[in-house]
Amino acid sequence: MALEVGASTAGSFDGMHCELVDTLATKPDAVTWGHNYGIVVNERCKRFYDEGKRHLFAIFKMIVLELWRDHNQKGVLHH
């Protein structure tokens, strides 16, 4: 609506902020930070990313984006 009346945009629109969450958690902040101690597999139990490829926070974002983009937004952490 604002764009329709002449408002400008700012920022980056080619990415997003996302986090791995535990879908079984009962707390509102169910962020999962343990993936650096195991492997993450998709819902077909296939490993799809090298968890040691980069530093923790870069890997965290890349795993989430990959799950969102190509794996039905579902993955499992195996320790």
* pLDDT of the residue at 33: 62
> Is the pTM here over 0.85, yes or no?
no
- Alpha-carbon gap, residue 53 to 51, rounded angstroms: 6
35 contacts 77 by C-beta, under 8 angstroms? yes
Query: What are the pLDDT digits (tens) for 5-60?
Result: 999 998 877 777 777 777 777 877 776 665 566 788 888 889 888 877 877 777 77
33 contacts 61 by C-beta, under 8 angstroms? no
* pLDDT of the residue at 17: 74
* pLDDT of the residue at 79: 64
- Alpha-carbon gap, residue 46 to 43, rounded angstroms: 7
